[in-house]
Amino acid sequence: MFMGEFQHNIDTKGRVIVPAKFREGLGSTFVLTRGLDQCLFAYPMDEWHHLENKLKKLPLTKKDARAFTRFFFSGAIECEVDKQGRINIPPPLRTYARLEKECVVIGVSNRVEFWAKDHWETYFEDSEESFAEIAENMMDFDI
């Protein structure tokens, strides 16, 4: 399980440190892809395969299903952590997530997310204001 929040800088070559706390869970190779809310999702290979199997079951005849799987898989890449604990995020993914210099890396249960610091702070502030309402709506899911 991934949890916690860490701040790192992205260097000019697009490399960012994966927090040591997350490296073991992600493994030496993992999948990085476009996530929701303009962040990047990182999945350990076993979790990626589980998600891939679920997405394969979506009906090809549904426009939303096709759009989502295209969006999700077209941006996916396999990442390897280098000896310094960094990954190289390719330009299209950095552009999508607006990653330029300051980055926030968060653990979210079965995945790790990479956010542009300013975007994360805005998202967090907006969500914090409605957290009680969000929590109340989650009761429908037996949480």
Total count of domains within the chain: 1
CA–CA separation, 3 and 52 (whole Å): 23
Give the tens place of pLDDT for each residue, 47-88: 999 999 999 999 989 999 999 999 999 999 999 999 999 999
pLDDT at 142 (0 to 100): 64
Domain that holds residue 116: 2-141
pLDDT at 132 (0 to 100): 77
Q: For the domain that residue 98 is a member of, what is the CATH number? A: 3.40.1550.20
pTM of the predicted model, to two decimals? 0.92
Cα 76 to chain centroid, rounded:
11
